[in-house]
Amino acid sequence: MMSAPLVSAPPAAAQTLSENPIAGPHSSLALLEALPQGQRIFAITPERRALLNTIRYAEGTWAQGSDLGYRILFGGSMVNSLDRHPNRVMRTARYASAAAGAYQFMPFTWALAARALGLAVFHPEAQDQAALFLVQRRGALTLADLGELTPQLVSKLAPEWASFPTLRGHSFYGQPVKRFADLKRFYDDNLAQLRSGLAPSEPPQLCEPQDSLRCRLEAFERRFGPRSRPGA
């Protein structure tokens, strides 16, 4: 069976997003910066990948570089299908949110990015593109391309990702936040490995079907270490 396409034909509104005459001064569309001509799909350079990985680290979806991070819902549970944003409100002791994916997209934010880029699915590649779109939207892509994680770059992205600190070291939304020093340490190490051609980590393979006995045993051993099996 053929998989759903990553990109569909961008709507006319997306092609002239910054020139939309009906976008008022307080609308979300009015806040978007114009994407560079011919760059509806962003290149993934080591510098951009390192930033994307750092966002995942801050948002708690790094998962040692595994694609499992693209399936994480707010609160830590997993979604089975990536055909679309799950748009499912999850609750913890203090918060409720419908954020999902490696970059914890809220449904409205995802719809905005997907419409602008013509993304048809919620697959990992689509999530990466949408995240870079949000970086561009915040006027931070040029800084990201310099290959240095600075307080100025992080603070530009703080309104987009609550786990990123402002220049004062706090979350833009008053939520738990990662320290800049921790983000920079992760970013620098990640970028060095990417530039050297090494994978930042060895992501575990996704076992299918996940509820099978074999997959459960593998998950048990990853968590608690190898155990002798009968007949081994």
> Angle of helix 124-137 relative to helix 107-117, nearest 10 degrees?
90
Please determine, for residue 14, whether its predicted confidence score (pLDDT) is greater than 90.
no
Domains of the chain, by residue range, sit at 42-224
* Residue 29, token pair as written in the block: 């569309």
- DSSP H or E stretch at residue 97: strand 96-97
- Closest to 57 measured CA to CA, from 191, 156, 151: 191
pLDDT score recorded for residue 171: 87
Please determine, for residue 218, whether its predicted confidence score (pLDDT) is greater than 70.
no
Residue-wise pLDDT for 30-70, tens only, equals 333 444 433 468 999 999 999 999 999 999 999 999 999 99
- Closest to 144 measured CA to CA, from 60, 33, 54, 37: 54
Burial 101-138 (b: 16+ CB within 10 A, else e): bbbbbeeebbebbbebbbbbbbbbebbbbbbbbbbbbb
Give the three-state DSSP class for 170: coil
> Rounded distance, CA 159 to CA 36, Å?
22
* Residue 215, token pair as written in the block: 């997959």
How sure is the predictor about 6, in pLDDT bands with cuts at 50, 70 and 90? low
pLDDT score recorded for residue 31: 34
Residue-wise pLDDT for 68-111, tens only, equals 999 999 999 999 999 999 999 998 888 899 999 999 999 999 99
Residue-wise pLDDT for 166-209, tens only, equals 999 998 888 889 999 999 999 999 999 999 987 665 444 556 66
Q: Does domain 42-224 have CATH number 3.60.60.10?
A: no
> Rounded distance, CA 193 to CA 128, Å?
19
Residue-wise pLDDT for 116-140, tens only, equals 999 999 999 999 999 999 999 999 9
- DSSP H or E stretch at residue 90: strand 90-91
pLDDT score recorded for residue 206: 57
Counting Cβ atoms within 10 Å, is residue 13 exposed (0-12), middle (13-18) or buried (19+)?
A: middle
How sure is the predictor about 223, in pLDDT bands with cuts at 50, 70 and 90? low
Give the three-state DSSP class for 171: strand
> 51 and 144 in contact (C-beta within 8 Å)?
yes
> 131 and 142 in contact (C-beta within 8 Å)?
no
> 50 and 192 in contact (C-beta within 8 Å)?
no
> Rounded distance, CA 207 to CA 220, Å?
12
